[in-house]
Amino acid sequence: MKTNFILIAAALALTGCSQPSTEVEGTSREVNVFSARHYRSDASIYAAFTELTGIDVNLIEANGDQLIERVRADGDRSPADVLITVDAARLHRAEQAGLFAATDYSDLVPSIAPHLIDPDQYWVSFTLRARVIAFSADRVEAGEISTYEDLADPRWAGRICIRESGNAYNQSLLASIVARSGEDAAEAWAAGIVANMARPPQGGDRDQIKGIAAGICDVAVVNHYYYAMLANSAQEADREAAAASVLFFPNQESSGAHINVSGAGIAANAPHPEEARELIAFLFSQDAQRLIVEMNNELPVVADAEWDNPTLQAMLPFQEDARNVSELGDHNETAQRIFDRVGWQ
Amino acid sequence: MSEAVPILSVRDARRHYGADKPALKKASLDLYPGRITALLGPSGSGKSTLLRSIAGLEALDEGTISCGETIWNDGTSHLPPEQRRVGMVFQDYALFPHLNALNNVAFGLTGPDKKKHAMAQLAAAELGHKANAYPHELSGGEQQRVALARALAPSPAIMLLDEPFSGLDRRLRKDLRERTISSLRASGTAALIVTHDAEEAMAIADELALMDAGCDIQCGTPGDVWLNPVSALAARLLGDVDTVSGRVAEGLVETPLGTVTAKGFTDGETVEVLVRPNAIAVTPDDNGTLTITNRHSVGAEISLTLKDQNNDQWHAFVSAPSALNIGDNVSVVLNETFVSVVKG
Amino acid sequence: MAITSTQSLNKKGALNATPFAILAALICAAPILAVGWIALTGDTGDYLEHLARTRLPTYLVNSAQVAVFAALGTGLLGTTLGWLIARTEFFGRKTMSWVLILPLAVPAYVAAYAWLDLSTAGGPLQAVTFGLFPTIRGSWGAGLMFTFVLYPYVYLLARDAFSSQSADAFDAARTLGASPLRAFFQTSLPMARPAIAAGLALVMMESLADYGAVSHLGAPTLSIGLIRAWSGAGSLIDAARLSLVLVVIALLIFGLERAQRRRARSVTGSGKHRPAPRTDLKPASALAALSLCLLPLILGLVAPMARLGWLALKEPIAAGLVQASYHSLTLAIISALIAAALGLSTAYALRTKTRIATIAARAAGLGYAVPGAVAAVGVIAILSGIQGMIDPAWTSLTGEPFPILLTGGAAALIFAYLSRFAAAAIGPSESALSRVTPTLDGAARTLGATPLQTARRVHWPLMIAGITSAGLLVFVEVLKELPATMILRPFNYDTLAVIAHAYAADERLGEAAMPSLLIVLIAILPMIFVARYLSRDLSGASQS
């Protein structure tokens, strides 16, 4: 069994490899990022950051909840400097788990709208995505639908495509309705949607748009950038699908379109807090915001950022929901339970 | 001695695997109801192939097999085994390991009474108390008896047994042999037993068929075949024999042991003289032409190895005890009953 | 070929791997036990109650449907193919014999990505059939995917069982009046049942533990519910409790498989027997057989690869694939080697038939039935616990913080892999070792070989096929593994599976295509080698 021991020793040696560094060395600075985003734009942003500041970015991209679990388990040994999540509810959960260190973000990024910053200053949002409605160009008249609440109306029975309830964006949408109208009304709304579904939830947002093109449904709820991605896709089938539907931003007369955010915060036990601040600040730079908009079709949070994206340009301006996005996290659990109760798969 | 009509006839069976590997070259055989035929031959003689062809588990390339009026095999057609009325006992018994003894025996039976009938078969084999045992719980002898009962249960017309006693120790073998033969006789089927053991073949068979290299070489009662082998090969299959060549002159042939009558041969023909050890009567003789080179006891007799003037070896028996020793000169007298002369 | 006596194995001098094996087994079981501990000792919220009123029945039904569909599909396909390859002869059979194993290289989630994309509304299959082709989704869709990629488990085991069975039993049945079909169903099939059952147990556990395919196809099983309890509701404790349900189901499956194997201890028969001869198929049947062999290859291997390849052509290649390939390979190779050693030593320990060895081996196999995420959670819990003990002790001794973060390195990930895949290594090793009978041991020992020499010179050649397949199975599993890798991997350490999933989950299937293809291509190369090795003609002798 000697071979076994050699192998085990080798495996243990591997533990030594890839160890996250927790020391600040004189010559090379670095920052450890745990991110739930996985876009090519982010790689470009980090590369630009490193080029500008000389700080190396060590990255782990993983599902938001799993990141939270890992950082929490590592406790004060956690090497995380910056935590980035792709939706508001996860930010909230990370905050609840005590993973963030409070930082004066209003000072760090003064131009950001207050509803995008955590009231307790644990985190800040650096991109926006709007969850909006797409309807069939042929089968639905413009103006026939204008609010989220309308979707629950029986006249849309069998005509709605929407993805599954496990998706964070749907959960936040429902959470915003809970915040706005209360739990009972939100449950009634969700039940109405379920009754109106053209098919059991399947696939992602782009599949819902394709569902409209295929004639399976007339209305879909999607994040705005998926629409833009289809419209700009290299595959002709995608572009045709996008062309078959029309996008609009609901609730413009009332609460504003529902928005969700990607947010970042400095980790509570960050070994490189200075570098973390620099990275977060960089996310709001002109370069970073432009990359986000042009490569991902997300919406910027910096009002005077310059970017070039015709598809996105055509969607603007719109009224956004001005409730602090931290409320999306507050009501996330309620939303999930509602989904469970109404049987939204 | 075939007064009855054969129930199974094989004619000129031929089977080969690959261009130069004939398993059966030209084999013919008849089986009679109620009679036990032993098929004896060395490994590779084709006896198992012939057996399996009769069972229908292998096809024939040429030749016919017919059972009564029904053609089982001819050059073109091949009746599948499940439609032939054969029962077969395999060398490894091939009991179904996932079924107990009762269900094994009942496998070939149909109808509502099959379990009862199977039980009766087991009881007849004195294995009724093992009806619920699984094959791996039975001893070798018990497995053989269950296999036999299973094959007999559907009352086949023909029973085929492939080296049915080979895996057992000597004492068990004898006992099992007797049981098997009595079961076979009781059933009245025609039985064909493949074996490579001459003693066993002669003990059980009514009819002996010798095979070598894919051909049947002789057929007859055991005694007849032993006494009158058609060739040295046939003789060797059944027991020890020493041979010498000679030339016929005036109906006789000369051998180092004496003169032998050669009936039915023309003068000048080359023949081979087959001499069983039992044919040689030994007497001590200082002037004898043969010398003892070896001796060992075989119980009531002593086996002697003799050397003649040509340095050829002969074997003989004398009753024990004997004063003969290695190195003694002896002279011999031949008993022609145990000597055969065949074509050289 | 089963071991029929144990006398010589316990005596002094026999190769005593038991303590090591037990330790290794316990290490594998530890993460699952940790999860069980969390489940049983955590605070009770009302989440499970809420779940029981709402989604739990759906989860249970879907899990059952997926497992049953997968078992039916793989059982039928694998058994039929196993019989065809083992007992008949037709053009192309020798090649098919090993090629049929290859779909094991395709992860179920990759097949799911490809087939959903192929069959979705507006996709190519529906375009060609005017909308008639059904979209592959739901539990039946997932069951279908598992059938396509998991049937090799059943095929391999059935094939080996059918070819090593006594052919005489089949022949005996025919002389007793059974048609070939009846002889198959009443003798060959029951005699192969233990092997087939073992394969089905593996299939069911893999399908229950799967996350990627069922989530993509919209079949919310218990695994999905478990992950949602953790990530959605944020309750690790409730997730741990749901894992216990999965573990219980796994124990049931294991237990049933063991029980029927014990009952049928000698079902395969013992003693010498003729190797089974092959039936030559007539041209029409031969064509049908060949088509049947090609079908799963096309569905499970060629079609997904073609579709993904087509998608990948249009997209730029994602960054970091070379490095990710390197990471995937490294993890897979190391895990495979350790797992093979583990399987070997556990098999030796099991040979002693002591109670503790059996319990340890079963415990080590628990990880197979739970999703990788659960194993990862357990690993995190254990390692943080150990870290929590070492840190203060080390600091008080040296004044410095302990240099290594246990959860930070690849070793934690390998720990999770071993916990997850131990069963895949132990099973084949155990069955391979069972071919080595005690008489062989005795013969070697009387010829003067020490236990170690016996192991090397007698056991090893006989077992090498089994140990190789154990190592191979783990290699491919680790290559395909997703959830544990996502959670536990170190910084800057992506694997191909992680990259593929990240893009697919974000609906960027085109960018997911290349890493998915790479996974299959890397897995296929060693798979070809070992598939051929496992399919080499062992009979040697010609007809007699």
Indicate whether A294 and A172 sit together in one domain: no
* Cβ–Cβ < 8 Å for B38, B209: yes
Indicate whether A85 and A116 sit together in one domain: yes
Indicate whether A136 and A234 sit together in one domain: yes
- B80 vs C contacts (CB less than 8 Å): 174, 179-180
Alpha carbons within 13 A on the beta-carbon side of B280: 31
* Partner-chain contact B18 C178, CB within 8 Å: no
Minimal C-alpha gap between B20 and chain C (Å): 13
Give me the helices (H) in chain A, please: 2-16, 40-53, 64-74, 88-96, 105-108, 168-181, 183-196, 205-213, 224-231, 236-243, 273-283, 286-296, 310-315, 326-330, 332-342
Of the residues C175, C179, C266, C279, the best mutation for testing chain B's interface (the one with the most B CB atoms within 10 Å of its CB) is C175
Domain final position from B212, B236, B260: B236
| Partner C contacted by A28 (CB < 8 A) | no
pLDDT at C267: 54
Low-confidence ranges of chain B (pLDDT < 70): 1-3, 19-20
Indicate whether B51 and B178 sit together in one domain: yes
For residue B283, which amino acid is it? T
Minimal C-alpha gap between B295 and chain C (Å): 35
In a domain, A22, yes or no: no
Q: Whole-angstrom Cα distance, residue C505 to residue C39?
A: 29
Neighbouring chains to C with at least 3 Cβ pairs closer than 8 Å: A, B
Q: Whole-angstrom Cα distance, residue C488 to residue B296?
A: 82
Number of domains in chain B: 2
Indicate whether A122 and A69 sit together in one domain: yes
Nearest CA in chain C to B160: C175
CB-closest option in B17, B84, B136 to C542: B17
**CATH code of A137's domain:** 3.40.190.10
Q: Whole-angstrom Cα distance, residue B49 to residue B42?
A: 13
For residue C309, which amino acid is it? G
Neighbouring chains to A with at least 3 Cβ pairs closer than 8 Å: C
* Tokens standing for residue C136: 């592959």
CB-closest option in C168, C177, C270 to B136: C270
**CATH code of B268's domain:** 2.40.50.140
- A21 vs C contacts (CB less than 8 Å): none
DSSP code of residue B195: E
Q: Mean pLDDT, to the nearest integer, of A243-247?
A: 91
Neighbouring chains to B with at least 3 Cβ pairs closer than 8 Å: C
In a domain, C211, yes or no: no
Backbone torsions φ then ψ of A280, nearest 5 degrees = -65, -40
- Residue C350 sits in which domain range? 11-31+321-493
Q: Whole-angstrom Cα distance, residue C113 to residue C145?
A: 10
Of the residues C176, C185, C270, the best mutation for testing chain B's interface (the one with the most B CB atoms within 10 Å of its CB) is C176
Residues 6+ apart with CB under 8 A from C460: none
Q: Whole-angstrom Cα distance, residue C489 to residue A296?
A: 26
* Partner-chain contact A20 C489, CB within 8 Å: no
Minimal C-alpha gap between C427 and chain A (Å): 19
Q: How many C-beta atoms lie closer than 10 Å to residue B343's C-beta?
A: 12
Neighbouring-strand partners of residue A134: A220, A247
Indicate whether A275 and A211 sit together in one domain: no
* Cβ–Cβ < 8 Å for C244, C250: no
* Partner-chain contact C410 A63, CB within 8 Å: no
In a domain, C462, yes or no: yes
pLDDT at C34: 87
Q: List, as ranges, residues 238-297 from A with C-beta within 8 Å of C.
A: 241
Q: Whole-angstrom Cα distance, residue A225 to residue A298?
A: 6
Chains A and C touch (3+ CB pairs under 8 A): yes
pLDDT at C390: 81
Indicate whether B269 and B231 sit together in one domain: no
- Residue A20 banded pLDDT, cuts 50, 70, 90: very low
- Residue B327 sits in which domain range? 241-343
Q: Whole-angstrom Cα distance, residue B222 to residue B204?
A: 9
β-bridge pairing B313-319 and B70-73: unpaired
Chains B and C touch (3+ CB pairs under 8 A): yes
CB-closest option in A8, A63, A77 to C231: A63
Nearest CA in chain A to C382: A73
CB-closest option in C58, C121, C490 to A211: C121
CB-closest option in C186, C267, C542 to B97: C267
More confident residue, C506 or A26: C506
Q: What element of type H or E holds B290?
A: strand B290-298
User: Which residue has 């390939």 as its token pair?
Assistant: C325
In a domain, C111, yes or no: no
Indicate whether B247 and B328 sit together in one domain: yes
- Residue A136 banded pLDDT, cuts 50, 70, 90: very high
DSSP code of residue C302: I
CB-closest option in A64, A211, A340 to C55: A340
pLDDT at A39: 79
Indicate whether B188 and B275 sit together in one domain: no
Q: Whole-angstrom Cα distance, residue B33 to residue B36?
A: 8
pLDDT tens digits, one per residue of C124-142: 888 888 878 888 888 999 9
CB-closest option in C230, C318, C406 to A15: C406
Indicate whether B251 and B322 sit together in one domain: yes
Considering Cα of C130, then C131, then C137, then C138, what sign does the dihedral take? negative
Q: Whole-angstrom Cα distance, residue C251 to residue C366?
A: 7
Low-confidence ranges of chain C (pLDDT < 70): 1-17, 232-234, 262-275, 318, 369, 400-408, 431-432, 434-441, 444, 449, 454-455, 458-459, 462, 465, 536-544
B and C: number of Cβ contacts within 8 A? 94
pLDDT tens digits, one per residue of B236-283: 888 889 988 888 888 888 888 888 888 888 888 888 999 999 888 888
Minimal C-alpha gap between C483 and chain A (Å): 9
pLDDT tens digits, one per residue of A189-232: 999 999 999 988 887 888 899 889 888 899 999 999 889 988 88
Measured CA angle at C80 (ends C77, C82), to 5 deg: 100
| Partner C contacted by A77 (CB < 8 A) | yes
- C271 vs B contacts (CB less than 8 Å): 92
Q: How many C-beta atoms lie closer than 10 Å to residue C4's C-beta?
A: 12
Indicate whether A55 and A145 sit together in one domain: no
Nearest to C437 by CA among C452, C456, C468, C459: C459
ipTM: 0.84
Number of domains in chain A: 2
**CATH code of B73's domain:** 3.40.50.300
Q: What element of type H or E holds C476?
A: helix C460-480
Q: How many C-beta atoms lie closer than 10 Å to residue C408's C-beta?
A: 25
Q: What element of type H or E holds B58?
A: none
Rounded to a whole number, what is the largest CA-CA distance in chain B? 81
Minimal C-alpha gap between C199 and chain B (Å): 19
Please state, rounded to an integer, the average pLDDT across all residues of chain A: 86
Residue B31 backbone zone (phi > 0: left; psi -120 to 50: alpha; other: beta): beta
* Partner-chain contact C169 B81, CB within 8 Å: no
In a domain, B250, yes or no: yes
Please write down the long-range contacts of B253-257, taking CB distance under 8 Å and 24 or more positions apart: B253/B341, B255/B334, B256/B289, B256/B290, B256/B308, B256/B309, B256/B310, B256/B312, B256/B314, B257/B290, B257/B308, B257/B314, B257/B332, B257/B334
CB-closest option in A7, A226, A237 to C337: A7
In a domain, A303, yes or no: yes
Q: List, as ranges, residues 160-189 from A with C-beta within 8 Å of C.
A: 164, 166, 171
Indicate whether B221 and B248 sit together in one domain: no
* Partner-chain contact B136 C265, CB within 8 Å: yes
Number of domains in chain C: 1
**CATH code of C442's domain:** 1.10.3720.10
In a domain, A13, yes or no: no
- Residue A58 sits in which domain range? 27-128+260-311
Minimal C-alpha gap between A41 and chain C (Å): 12
Domain final position from B182, B207, B236: B236
pLDDT at C404: 65
In a domain, B208, yes or no: yes
* Partner-chain contact A343 C54, CB within 8 Å: yes
Indicate whether B225 and B265 sit together in one domain: no
- B98 vs C contacts (CB less than 8 Å): 190-191, 193, 264, 267
Indicate whether A139 and A243 sit together in one domain: yes
* Partner-chain contact C218 A66, CB within 8 Å: no
- A37 vs C contacts (CB less than 8 Å): none
Chains A and B touch (3+ CB pairs under 8 A): no
Of the residues A31, A57, A72, A77, the best mutation for testing chain C's interface (the one with the most C CB atoms within 10 Å of its CB) is A77
* Partner-chain contact C121 A216, CB within 8 Å: yes
* Partner-chain contact C492 A59, CB within 8 Å: yes
* Cβ–Cβ < 8 Å for C229, C52: no
Indicate whether B176 and B53 sit together in one domain: yes
Nearest to A271 by CA among C408, C498, C387: C408
In a domain, C92, yes or no: no
CB-closest option in C172, C266, C268 to B94: C172
Q: Whole-angstrom Cα distance, residue C339 to residue C217?
A: 31
The 3-state DSSP class for residue A132 equals: strand
Peptide bond into B321 cis (omega under 30): yes
- C269 vs B contacts (CB less than 8 Å): 97, 135
Minimal C-alpha gap between A33 and chain C (Å): 9
Indicate whether A233 and A272 sit together in one domain: no
Residues 6+ apart with CB under 8 A from C202: C150, C153, C368, C423, C424, C427
Indicate whether A84 and A169 sit together in one domain: no
Backbone torsions φ then ψ of B281, nearest 5 degrees = -100, 125
| Partner C contacted by A111 (CB < 8 A) | no
